[in-house]
């Protein structure tokens, strides 16, 4: 058996089907995308080569592209610096209470994560509705009519409202990862730290969090990718509006290609998007790995 797998031809034959799937489902489409990004293709019919004009336009004059990227960074910041710490803190609390109580809370927190995106989007669009939404009804009932606005269409609140929906749904996943990670920390380590005189904060900062760093790294990388490719929730709630204030790159390139009929431009956006996403992911991974080594 060992000899069989030692044979290079056999190994190659076994790898080939998977390799072909990756080539035809990933490499070839990206290649086509890169090719069409250099054209003025409208989706069908004749097209002409325009060189790097699409890229030049995106990078130099397309304010919506930069706005979309900035929104992705804002979402990323909120996810990393607010959602993750809160999810970690809640997971830590859940890991110290009784199993029965913990299970109830875990279920409650995880419910949004198992709901369909469409259901979650429609639910929050309904809650935020200024006419019949429950949020404004509650605000008015407690005398806060002045802040009862049209949350998803008000330029000052739209991005915050959309980010809230995304964070709300993603919270369960972060919690699940951290809770599972915390369960793998041997109790003896925590107890030994406490015996050595460390308070709970010190125990977490100096022992438990470093121990959990691989889990935290994985969650952060997943979060970064998910923030960058955010599309469905935006599409189902605001479609990038009001104006382009809640626009994200995935929605924008979809609109450019499929609504505006600028497939060439849309493909250029998608190529740049892939470059940005891969670049940021690599940087984050590198930073986390370096941190891991230091730990």
Partner 1 sequence: MKRFAVVLLALCLAGALWAQDKVTLKMGDPHPDRVNGWGAVIEQINAEFKAANPGVDIVTESYPDQPYQQKIKIYATAKQLPDVFKYWSFSTLLKPLVDGGFVTALNKADFAQYGYVPGSLESNVWDGKLYGIPVSADFWVVYYNKQLFKDAGVSVPTTVEDLEALAPKFKAKGIIPMVTDGKDAWPLSITYDVLCERVNGDFSRQQAALDRKAKFTDPDFVEGARQYQKFIQSGLFQEDLTVSDYGASRNLFGQGKAAMYVMGPWEMGLATDSNFSDSFRANVDVFKFPVLKNGKGRTDDLEAWFGGNYVISSTSKNQNLDLKYLQYYAKRFPALAWEKGAAFPAQKVEPRATDTPVAKTLLKILADAKKTSGTTTIDRSTPQFKEDHQNFIRELSSGLITPEQFCAKLDASAQTASEQK
Residue ranges that bind partner 1, judged by CB under 8 A: 42-46, 125, 128-132, 150, 152-155, 237-239, 241-245, 255-256, 258-262
CB of 12 to partner 1, least distance (A): 35
CB of 44 to partner 1, least distance (A): 4
Report how far apart, in Å, the C-alpha atoms of 295 and of each of 206, 212, 213, 218, 266 are. 10, 11, 8, 16, 43
Q: Which two tokens stand for residue 57?
A: 């336009």
CB of 157 to partner 1, least distance (A): 11
**Smaller CB separation from partner 1, 193 or 267:** 267
Cβ neighbours around 198 below 10 Å, total: 16
CB of 154 to partner 1, least distance (A): 8
**Smaller CB separation from partner 1, 79 or 247:** 247
Q: Cα–Cα distance between 141 and 280 in angstroms, integer?
A: 45
CB of 239 to partner 1, least distance (A): 6
CB burial of 60-75 (b: ≥16 within 10 Å; e: otherwise) equals eebebbebbbebbeeb
**Smaller CB separation from partner 1, 43 or 210:** 43
**Smaller CB separation from partner 1, 2 or 46:** 46
CB of 62 to partner 1, least distance (A): 12
CB of 158 to partner 1, least distance (A): 8
**Smaller CB separation from partner 1, 182 or 234:** 234
**Smaller CB separation from partner 1, 193 or 237:** 237
**Smaller CB separation from partner 1, 157 or 202:** 157
């Amino acid at each position: 058996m060992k000899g069989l797998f030692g044979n290079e031809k056999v190994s190659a034959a076994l790898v080939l089907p998977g390799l072909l799937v990756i080539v035809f489902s990933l490499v070839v489409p990206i290649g086509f995308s890169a090719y069409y990004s250099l054209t003025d293709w409208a989706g069908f019919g004749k097209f002409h080569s325009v060189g790097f004009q699409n890229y030049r336009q995106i990078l130099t004059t397309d304010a919506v592209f930069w706005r979309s990227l900035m929104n992705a960074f804002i979402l990323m910041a909120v996810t990393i610096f607010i959602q993750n710490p809160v999810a970690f803190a809640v997971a830590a609390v859940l890991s110290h209470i009784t199993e029965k109580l913990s299970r109830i809370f875990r279920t409650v927190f995880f419910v949004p994560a198992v709901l369909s995106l469409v259901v979650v989007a429609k639910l929050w669009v309904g809650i935020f509705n200024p006419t019949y939404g429950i949020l404004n009804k509650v605000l008015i009932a407690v005398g806060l009519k002045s802040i009862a606005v049209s949350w998803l269409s008000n330029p000052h609140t739209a991005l915050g409202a959309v980010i809230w929906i995304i964070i709300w749904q993603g919270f369960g996943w972060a919690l699940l990862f951290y809770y599972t990670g915390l369960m793998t920390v041997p109790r003896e380590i925590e107890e030994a730290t406490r015996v050595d005189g460390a308070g709970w904060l010190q125990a977490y900062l100096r022992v438990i969090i470093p121990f959990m760093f691989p889990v935290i790294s994985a969650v952060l990388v997943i979060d970064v990718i998910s923030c960058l490719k955010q599309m469905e929730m935006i599409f189902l709630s605001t479609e990038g509006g009001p104006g382009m204030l809640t626009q994200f790159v995935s929605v924008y390139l979809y609109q450019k290609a499929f609504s505006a009929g600028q497939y060439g431009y849309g493909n250029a956006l998608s190529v740049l998007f892939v470059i940005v996403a891969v670049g940021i992911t690599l940087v984050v991974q590198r930073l986390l790995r370096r941190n891991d080594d230091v730990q």
